[in-house]
Amino acid sequence: MTDASSDYEQLLALHHAMQLRRSLREDGRAAPVAVRRPTRYPERAADQELLVTSLETIGSSADEVVRSFYAQLFLGRPYLRGLFPAGLRADGDRLFNALIGLAEALSDLPRLVESLEQLGRDHRKYGIRPAHYDAVRQALVGALREHAGAGWRPEYEQAWLRAYDFAAAVMQSAEAASTDPPYWQGTIVAHHRPYLDIAVMKVRTDVAYRYRAGQYTTIEVPAVPRAWRPYSMATAPRPDGVLEFHVRAIDLGPVSTALVHDMGVGSTLRLGPPMGSAVIETTGERPLLVVAGGTGLAPCRAIVEQVLTTQPGRPVQLIFGARHTQELYNLPILAQLADRYPALTLVPVATDDPDFPGPRGALPELVASSGPWHRHEVYLSGPPGLVHALDRVLARLRVPPPQIHHDPLPD
């Protein structure tokens, strides 16, 4: 890490310490900060139509718009480049796609507000300040205007400005109200590789890390500064506060490669705040169908643990698959859970292993053939292609959309 980056991190920590000190009550505990929470957006329906129509004027030039967005963002503000990792492409696409995603997300305002509040708390780890929001606002509208050409209309610009200002206000109110640290320092206390490219690691944080079963965090490793990648907690919250993660090393993925192959017990990392809304409601009564593929088992195992400890009689069917038998590394732990809780039914699947004694084949086909599921609450996790396929199967089986839960997927 450069001296400039180190200085910036120290300033960020100092800013948080001052904010926390201002919020302390007389008894020394952090008190909630009274912040106005934007929840109304009178022009929402009309603006959503304008946003969608404006994007149609861009057509197939999306990559050029992304490049233009960052060129305008950094023009005259070179200091902002330090907020992004050296390899900008993946992280850059995420930011721009999130901004463009406002067009669709406006259809469900309560869900959008919840997501924006999580983003506001999460963005504190980057050291985002109010001036940065203004810079992004200008760059976003400038890039869209430039590439829409003659098709751009003043009402498009006003709709984008209103939508962005609403989103920024929600995020900034959540940031101001949070008394948690901008990120947590973590130390790996256990690390093993049950399969060639998979690591199971346990992490202890310097400050208590509060989350709900089914949520995920983002992790930054020292070798790849400012490149934060999402990983789900693999257990329900534990009394000792230790977090467990399942990581698969992916091609051209420097963070996952470092976590699997280069790091071990004693290695340090950083964690962002918990995120995600695919959490279990332990007051529900519907039976559960939980479907996981690969390391997507992590949040599903956390959900299963949570519901079995709080509602031990609630029926749970866990269908989890991997390509090969060796990748079903959590099967012994899950089998122990099933022994303790008769309400849990396990269905392990090896999709590509002819020697596997249990079910084989694609998970969507197995789910389709083993229903009906319309009376179940359904939780899904795994690669985006798998979750999209499961969504389509469940729609054909007439499972009501409000009963299907998973985190948002990339397009």
How far is it, in rounded angstroms, from Cα 94 to Cα 18? 31
How far is it, in rounded angstroms, from Cα 389 to Cα 153? 38
Break the chain into its structural domains and give their ranges.
32-177, 184-271, 288-405
pLDDT at residue 12 tops 70: no
DSSP 24: B
CB count within 10 Å of CB 374 equals 12
**CATH architecture entry for 184-271:** Beta Barrel (2.40)
288-405 — its CATH code? 3.40.50.80
* Sheet arrangement for strand 377-381: 344-350, 316-322, 288-293, 377-381, 404-405
Most confidently predicted of 18-22, 54-58, 127-131, 219-223: 219-223
Nearest Cα to Cα of residue 77 among 129, 148, 12: 129
* Sheet arrangement for strand 243-248: 229-232, 216-220, 268-271, 184-195, 198-205, 243-248
Taking a C-beta distance cutoff of 8 angstroms, is the pair 242, 203 a contact? yes
* Res. 7 pLDDT band, cuts 50 70 90: very low
Overall average pLDDT of the 120-130 stretch? 83
pLDDT value of residue 115: 87
CATH number for 32-177: choose from 1.10.10.10, 1.10.490.10, 3.40.50.1000, 3.60.40.10.
1.10.490.10
Per residue in 347-363, pLDDT (tens digit) is 999 988 888 888 888 99
How far is it, in rounded angstroms, from Cα 191 to Cα 208? 21
pLDDT value of residue 1: 45
Q: 190 vs 62, 265, 266, 267, 296, CA distance in Å? A: 43, 5, 8, 10, 20
DSSP 323: S
* Res. 95 pLDDT band, cuts 50 70 90: low
Topology agreement, domain 32-177 and domain 184-271: no
How far is it, in rounded angstroms, from Cα 2 to Cα 404? 45
pLDDT at residue 179 tops 50: yes
pLDDT value of residue 357: 86
How far is it, in rounded angstroms, from Cα 17 to Cα 8? 14
Per residue in 28-69, pLDDT (tens digit) is 444 444 455 677 888 888 999 999 999 888 876 777 888 888
**What b/e readout covers 377-409, taking b as 16+ CB neighbours within 10 angstroms?**
bbbbbbeeebbebbbebbeeeebeeebbbbbee
* Res. 77 pLDDT band, cuts 50 70 90: confident
Q: Considering the chain, what percentage of its residues have pLDDT values greater than 90? A: 55
Per residue in 134-155, pLDDT (tens digit) is 998 999 999 999 888 888 999 9
pLDDT at residue 178 tops 70: yes
How far is it, in rounded angstroms, from Cα 381 to Cα 374? 19
Most confidently predicted of 73-77, 131-135, 385-389: 385-389
On average, the pLDDT of the chain sits at: 86
pLDDT value of residue 319: 97
Residue 3 makes CB contacts below 8 A (sequence gap 6+) with none
pLDDT at residue 287 tops 60: yes
More confident position, 6 or 331: 331
Overall average pLDDT of the 388-411 stretch? 90
